[in-house]
Amino acid sequence: MNAMPRAHELGLIGCHVCGLVCRDTQVPDAACPRCGASLHRRKPDSCARTWALLIAAFILYIPANVLPIMRTVSLGSVDDNTILSGVMELWVKGSPDLAVIVFTASIVVPMMKFLVMGTLLLSVHRGSHWARAQRARLYRLVEFIGYWSMLDVFVVSLLTALVQFGFFSAVEPLPGVVYFGLTVVLTMLASMNFDPRLIWDGKDEDD
Amino acid sequence: MTLPSSSNGQIQPALTSSLLVCEHCDTVHRRRPLVRGDVARCARCHAVLEWHQRLSLDAMLALVATVMVVFVQANVWPIITLGFNGEQIHARLWGIIMMMWREHSQVVAVLAAGTLFFFPLCKMLALGWLLIYARWGRRAPGFRQVMVVLHYIQPWTMSEVFVLGVLVSIVKAQLYFDVTPDAGVFAYAVLAILITIFSGIDVRQLWDKIPEDAP
Ligand SMILES: [Zn+2]
């Protein structure tokens, strides 16, 4: 046994909810004596659930980008904005800095999440030892920045509300924003269901 | 070290608070006392294990009370004002949520209501409840359940994102109308800062701070 023992090697389980270190009694439905959450050595069905949520999120991400998220009616001209065209408009007419922020939040972050979570899942399936510390760090990063993708959903909501009494101008939310909101929620659920411990499971040879 | 009193006749796993298991890689660490500014990191994966609690329970309670006040202001005060034919239109958070509900975007309305209103509110009420008792060294009624609820709602509060959203909306809306930020936004900005300070609080430490047999 090496200098850094892992909980399952010592017959211990760290509670997922309260963090208490418990002895693994091998009882199938053991509960944490402190918080009452059920004890698992690893999150149950972590890979299957993460895959399912991630794939569902990816499927919804397609209409989220293709369908318009917002309609602006201004002086008789009707303008349907998709996420990307909204970013372009902001870049050209508004402020390029904010365009970059919105682009990052609604395109880069979700894409990164799909890529990173997909890579993590595949490498876990193969039991790969490749760059474990870096993969662990990448996971913590996507978990940390994931919810910033909600930005565009709030923007559409705000713009809609702004013109609630406007007669000649109107802003309407369109279905794209619904798909996008659901994508964000599903990707968040996907990363929560992933168990980063799986990255470190298997033999240690490189650390 | 506390040993469990065997309750309701179940086989209780032995537990120890002198050990710490890294949540990210399952490595077992021996807990060491932390001094001011200390952050304990996992030697294997570098994830943060725990950090020194700078704020006293009283300070945390004061912070919760402040957040409550700011939260009320953020919700009562208008967030954006729209100048329109010499008229002024004010948008408040609940106005926005109701608007989305009526505009056939119920999903969006529910998302906004949850992440901007209900989850932050639950979080603050729960923390306030726990801390009021904690400063007397006691576990609040329902301590266990409230702690578990806090654990699950933690990731779903998005006030910080909303502040950035307001900023983007103002810039976008200025293409069409005369829009100015209103007091509510500043309340939201303060709220975002307070929430950031808050996330520096490791709520889990309450489990260890207040022993189970306390009255
Ligand atoms: Zn670790």
Per-residue pLDDT tens for B30-83?
888 888 878 889 988 888 888 887 788 888 899 999 999 999 999 999 888 877
Exposed/middle/buried for residue B215 (C-beta within 10 Å: 0-12, 13-18, 19+) = exposed
Of the candidates A26, A31, A110, A99, the one whose C-alpha atom is nearest the C-alpha of residue A65 is A110
Q: How far is B112 from chain A (nearest CA, A)?
A: 7
Across-strand partners of A31?
Answer: A38
A63 interfacial to chain B (CB closer than 8 Å): no
Residues of B in contact with A12 (CB under 8 A): 19, 21, 28
- Residue A75 falls in which region: left (phi positive, over 0), alpha (psi -120 to 50) or beta: left
Using a CB-CB cut-off of 8 Å, the residues of chain A touching B164 are 101, 105, 148, 151
Assess A144–B contact: CB distance below 8 Å, yes or no.
no
Query: How many interchain CB pairs under 8 A, A with B?
Result: 231
pLDDT of residue A172: 80
Cα–Cα distance, A139 to A143 (Å, whole number): 6
Does B96 contact A7 at a Cβ distance shorter than 8 Å? no
Residues B13-36: tens digit of each pLDDT: 556 677 888 988 888 888 888 888
Are A20 and B97 inside 8 Å of each other by CB?
A: no
The pLDDT, as a whole number, for residue B4 is 40
Residue B68 identity (one-letter amino acid): M
Q: Show the beta-strand stretches assigned E in A29-157.
A: 70-74, 77-81
Banded pLDDT at B182 (limits 50, 70, 90): confident
Q: Check: CB of residue A24 under 8 Å from CB of residue A13.
A: yes
Minimum mean pLDDT among A203-207, B96-100, B166-170: which range?
A203-207
Question: For A69-88, how does the pLDDT look when each residue is reduced to its tens digit (9 = 90+)?
Answer: 988 776 777 888 899 998 99
Q: Is B139 helix (H, G, I), strand (E, B) or coil?
A: coil
Give the pLDDT confidence score for residue B126 in this predicted structure. Answer: 92
A201 has a pLDDT exceeding 90: no
At residue B50, the pLDDT reads: 85
Q: pLDDT above 70 covers what percent of chain B?
A: 89
A50, A193 Cβ separation under 8 angstroms: yes
**Both tokens of residue A6?**
């892992």
Span B90-110, average pLDDT: 88
Cβ A126 vs Cβ A200: under 8 Å = no
Q: What is the pLDDT of residue B177?
A: 72
Rounded Cα–Cα distance for residues B21 and B24 (Å): 9
pLDDT recorded at residue B89: 77
Measured between beta carbons, which residues in chain A are less than 8 angstroms from residue B155? 147, 188, 192
Q: Please give, rounded to a whole number of angstroms, the shortest distance from the CA of A76 to a CA of chain B.
A: 13
Higher pLDDT, B180 or B215: B180
Q: Average of pLDDT values for A146-171? A: 78
- Say which residue, B196 or A196, is predicted with more confidence: A196
Spatial CA neighbour of A12 closest among B148, B13, B25, B5: B13
Give the Cα separation of B142 and B145 in Å (integer): 5
Q: Pick the residue of B20, B25, B27 with the most A CBs within 10 A to test the interface with A by mutation.
A: B25
For residue B16, the model assigns a pLDDT of 62
| Cβ-defined contact of A155 to B168 (cutoff 8 Å) | yes
Instruction: Decide: B51 and B40 in contact? Cβ < 8 Å.
Output: yes
At residue A100, the pLDDT reads 94
Contacts of B151 in chain A (CB under 8 A): 17-18
Q: Give the pLDDT mean for B174-203.
A: 82
Residue from B108, B116, B119, B206 to probe the interface with A (highest A Cβ count within 10 Å): B108
Inform me whether the pLDDT recorded for A1 exceeds 60: no
- For residue A207, pLDDT over 80 is answered with no
| Cα–Cα dist A135/A123, whole Å | 9
Q: Give exposure, A180-199, as e/b (b: 16+ Cβ within 10 Å).
A: bbbbbbbbbbbbbbbbbbbb
> Quick check: A194 and A117 in contact, CB under 8 A?
yes
The highest-confidence range among A151-155, B19-23, B133-137, by mean pLDDT, is: A151-155
Q: What is the pLDDT of residues A97-151, one digit of tens each?
A: 999 999 999 999 999 999 999 999 999 888 878 888 899 999 999 988 888 999 9
pLDDT in the model for residue B1: 35
* B44 vs B85, more confident: B44
pLDDT tens, residue by residue, A19-52: 888 888 777 778 888 888 888 888 888 999 999 9
Give the three-class secondary structure for B46: coil
The average confidence (pLDDT) of chain A is 86
Tokens of B27: 């490595």
Mean pLDDT value of segment B112-117: 93
* Encoded tokens for A128: 């790969």
Chain A contacts of B172, Cβ < 8 Å?
86, 89-90, 94, 155, 159
Average pLDDT, chain B: 83
Site from A6, A10, A21, A85 to mutate, B interface, most B CB atoms within 10 angstroms: A21
Contact indicator for B115, A185 with CB cutoff of 8 Å: no
For residue A185, what are the contacts with CB-CB under 8 A and spacing of at least 6? B111
Give the three-class secondary structure for A131: coil
User: Which of the pair, B90 or A179, is modelled with greater confidence?
Assistant: A179
Scan residues 93-132 of A and list those with Cβ closer than 8 Å to B. 93-95, 98, 101-102, 105, 132
ipTM value for the complex: 0.85
pLDDT at A15: 87
C-alpha pair distances (Å), B148 with each of A38, A142, B153? 12, 24, 9
Element (H, E) at B172: helix B159-173
Q: What is the pLDDT of residue B69?
A: 93
DSSP secondary structure code for residue A173 in this structure: E
